[in-house]
Structure 1
Amino acid sequence: MTKVVYKVVQHDGGWAYRLGDVYSETFPTHSDALQAARIVAAEQQVGGEPEEISWQDEKGVWHTEYSDGGDRPEAEVVDGDDEVEQNQA
């Protein structure tokens, strides 16, 4: 199973959550960013309809693949204290 980790970090004079090198919008408080990260992590685990998806890798190459809609990653939130919260959605 694939695992994604959202990290809550200081960013642009406020707080954001980050997945890899990609940051969310900036939130005014740590609490707001943490709440948003928890919501996104929970939504990441919700299945959907079967469909074809396209995505770009770190080298800029586009890929297309079929998703059955039920193969969802495990999602975690890492707070500034490096505490890991596993979402059990």
Structure 2
Amino acid sequence: MTDITYIIVEHDGGWAYKVGDTFSETFPSHEAALKAAKRAAGEQELPGETEGIIYEDKQAVWRQEVSAGDDRPTTHVRDAK
């Protein structure tokens, strides 16, 4: 199973959460960013339907996969403050 960590960081004059190298939108307060990260982390763990997905990888190659609705990651929220 995959682990995903949402990290609360200062970003672009405000606060954001970061997953890997990707930042969320900028929030006006630390508390707002923390709340959004907790919500996103919780939603990430919810089961869904098994579906086909298409995405572009880092090498700009389009990929097709089947995403099992019950194969959800474990999430964590870490505050870098």
Whether 1:54 aligns to 2:15 is no
Deviations 1:53-87 (A, max 9, x none): 12222222221111221100111111114xxxxxx
Give the TM-score, by structure 1 length: 0.84
Give the 5 Å matches for 1:1-89. Answer: 1-81=1-81
- Give the Cα separation in 1 of the matches to 2:7 and 2:56: 21
Distance 1:58 1:6 in 2: 20
- 1 CA distance for matches of 2:7 and 2:51? 28
SS at match of 1:38: helix
Kindly tell me the number of residue pairs found equivalent between the two proteins: 81
Q: CA RMSD in A?
A: 1.1
SS in 1 for 2:42: helix
User: Taking every aligned residue pair, what percent have the same amino acid on both sides?
Assistant: 51
Which residue identity lines up with residue 72 of structure 2 in the other structure? R
TM-score by length of 2: 0.92
Instruction: Return the alpha-carbon distance in structure 2 between the equivalents of residues 7 and 56 of structure 1.
Output: 24
Q: Distance in 1 between matches of 2:80 and 2:10?
A: 8
Structure with bigger RCO (C-alpha 8 Å, 6+ apart): 2
State how far apart, in whole Å, the 2-side matches of 1:12 and 1:26 are.
7
Which segments of 5 or more consecutive residues in structure 2 lack a partner in the other structure? none
